[in-house]
Structure 1
Amino acid sequence: MVSDFVLLPQFLTNGLVIGSGYVLVAVGLTLIFGILHIVNFAHGEFYMLGGFAAVLGSQLLGLPALPTLLFVAVLMAAFGLVVERVVFRPLSGKDPTNAIIASFGLSVLLQNLMLKTVGAEPMVPKSGFASGAIQIGNVFITAERIAIVAAMAVIVAALLLVLRYTWTGRALRALSENPTVALISGVNVRRVSLITFMIGSVLAGLSGALMSTVFMVQPNSGALIVMKAFIIVVVAGMGSIEGAIIVGLGLGLIESLVAGYMGNQLRDIVGFLIVILVLAVRPQGLFGLTTERS
C-alpha cells in the first residue's frame, strides 16, 4: 500500500504528459468539429504526419528542437490549406455524410501513402535534449516529457489569447455561435473556415511532433489518438475549447492511474466508459453550453 502511494506522483506526472498530447489534438478537432461541423476522422493522420515532419526536420535537415516545431507548423498549415480546399470545401453545404466518408478515405490514403513511403518501422525525431531521466523527489522524468508539457501550455495559451483578443479570433467565435449572423456582420466565412482548418491541422501536427519524441511515430500512430480526441470533444461538449483542455488533461491522468493500478490493458477502455456516463447524464457534454442555440 505504501509503495502504491509512493508511485502516485509518477503516475500523475505520466498522465500529465499524455494528457498534454491529448489536449493539442482535441483542441484542434474541437475547432474543426465545433466551428466548421466537419467530422474529420483523418485528424489522427494529421497527428501522424506531424510526427514524420519532425523526423524530417530533425534528422534529415538537422534542425534544432524549436526550428523543428516551426517547420512542422508551416508544413501542417500548408497541408491543412490543401485538404480544406480540395477535400472539404467542395462538400460544404451538402450532406454531412459525404464529408465523413471523405475523411475516412483521406485517413486510409494517408496511412497507406506513408506506409509505402517510409515503411512500418517506428521512427523517433531527434529532440536535441540530453539523454537520461531527471529525478524530482520520487518522480523520474525526461527532458522530452517536460518539453511536451511546457510546449502544450505555451501553444494553448497563445491560441486562447488569439481567440480572445484578435479579429480572427472573434470571427472564429462568431462563426461558431451563428454562421448566418457572422456572415451578415461582414465575416468572410470561407476565409475563416480555411484559417480554422489550418489551425486545427497545425495543433494536431505539433502534438504528433512532440509526442513522437517519447512514443515514436509510424503510419498507424493516429488510429487510436483520433478516437481519444473524439472522446474528449464529446465529453467536453462541441465547440468548448476550455472544456477540451480540462477533459484532455483529465483523461490523460485517469488513464495513467488506471494503467498504473489496474493494468495497462484497461487504459483505453476508461475513456469510452466516461463517454457513456456523460452522455447518459448530460448529452451536450460537461461544458457544452454553446450547443444550445436559438
Structure 2
Amino acid sequence: MDLLLQYLANGIVTGSSYVLVAVGLTLIFGILGVVNFAHGEFYMIGGYAGIFAVTVMHLPVLPAIFLVLAVAACVGLCAEVILHRPMKNRDATSSIVSSFGLAVALQNAALIVMGPQPQRLNLDASKMPLLSDLPTEIGPVFLPHQRMLIPLTMVVLIAALYVVLRYTWTGRSLRAMAQHATVARLCGVHVERVALVTFATGAALAGIAGMLMSSVFLVYPIVGNMIALKAFTVVILGGMGNVAGAAGAGILLGVIESLTSAYISNSMRDIVGFVIVIGVLLLRPNGLFGKAVERS
C-alpha cells in the first residue's frame, strides 16, 4: 500500500505538468480553433528560461516563475502574430502546416542558442530550499521539494485561470468566443485582443510547466515533441476545448503512466496513453469528460 501511494504521488506530480501544458493547448483550440503543433516548444522555452533565471541570474522561486511567465507569454504573442493572424481566414491545413514550421524554427533556434547538450535546473547553484533535492515526508510518501512545487503551482495557476475566466470581462470574452464566435463579434468582443490573450495564456502555462519540470528532467531542443503528444493525448481524453476535462485527464494520464511504469514496464509508460486514446476515440469520440465544442 505504501508503494502504491508513492506511485500515485509520482503520477500526480507528472500529471500536474501535463495539466498545465494541456490546458493551454485546449484554450487555444477551444477559443480560436487552432491546432497548435508548436505548443511543445513553449514548454521547451520555459524550461530554458527557468534554467537561466535560477542558475544564471540566481533569482528566488517566485521572481523566476514570473520571469518565465513573461518570457513564455511574449513567445505566445509572437506565435499568434506569426501563426494565427495570417492564417485565420484560410483552411485548417494551412494553420497546421505553419505550426509545424514554427515548431521546427523554435527547435533550431534553441539548438543554435543553447546547444545540443541536455541541461537541467542547477539546484546547487540556486541555493534555494524550495528547489532542493531534500525529500519531504507525507505519511509513507516521500517527495523532493522541487516535485512538491509542481502540483502546488498547478493548483494556484488553474485556480487563477478559473477566476479570470469566470469573473472578469476578459474571461467572459474568451468564453463567448469559445461558445459562438460570430455572436461574440456582434456583441463587441475584440477578436484580435482575445486571440492575443489566448496564445499568451496558453504559452505561459506551458512555459511554467517546462520550468518546473526542468528541475526533475533534462531540457533539450526537441524535448517539446513528446510533451506535445502527451498534451494532445490529454486534450482528446478530456474533450476538445474542455478546460476542466483537460485538467482531470492530465492527472489521470500521469497516474496511469506511473502505475504502468511501476507494475508493468517503464518502456510501456509512453505507449499506454496512446492506446487509451485509441480506445476513447472508438468508444467515446467526444472524450471522457463533457461534450464536443460546437464552433461556427
**TM-score, normalising length: structure 1:** 0.95
Superposed, 1:271-282 pairs within 5 Å as 271-282=273-284
1:57 is aligned to: 53
- Cα RMSD of the aligned pairs, angstroms, is 1.3
Say which SS state the counterpart of residue 291 (structure 1) adopts: coil
Residues 1:140 and 2:142 are matched in the alignment: yes
Superposed, 1:183-202 pairs within 5 Å as 183-202=185-204
CA contact (8 A) 1:77 1:201 kept: yes
Question: Which residue, 239, 253, 256 being the options, matches 1:254?
Answer: 256
1:42-93 deviation per Cα after TM superposition (whole angstroms, max 9, x unaligned):
1001000000000111122111111001000111111111111123211111
Superposed, 1:1-294 pairs within 5 Å as 5-126=1-122, 128-129=128-129, 130-292=132-294
Change beyond 3 A, Cα 1:188–1:290 = farther
Q: How far 1:140 sits from its partner (Å)?
A: 1.7
Q: Distance in 1 between matches of 2:293 and 2:222?
A: 33
Flag as ranges the 4+ runs of structure 1 deviating above 4 A: none
The number of equivalent residue pairs is 290
Structure 2 unaligned segments of length 5 or more: list them: none
Q: How far 1:109 sits from its partner (Å)?
A: 1.2
CA contact (8 A) 2:133 2:146 kept: no
Q: State the percentage of identical aligned residues.
A: 51
Structure 1 unaligned segments of length 5 or more: list them: none
Q: Distance in 2 between matches of 1:278 and 1:131?
A: 38
Q: Distance in 2 between matches of 1:290 and 1:175?
A: 15
Q: How far 1:147 sits from its partner (Å)?
A: 0.5
Q: How far 1:286 sits from its partner (Å)?
A: 2.0
Q: Distance in 1 between matches of 2:61 and 2:293?
A: 39
Q: Distance in 2 between matches of 1:82 and 1:292?
A: 27
Q: How far 1:290 sits from its partner (Å)?
A: 4.5
Q: Distance in 1 between matches of 2:290 and 2:179?
A: 12
CA contact (8 A) 1:177 1:290 kept: no
Q: Distance in 2 between matches of 1:260 and 1:143?
A: 22
Larger deviation: 179-188 or 272-281? 272-281
Q: How far 1:31 sits from its partner (Å)?
A: 0.4
Query: Aligned letter for 1:177?
Result: Q
Q: Distance in 2 between matches of 1:82 and 1:239?
A: 22
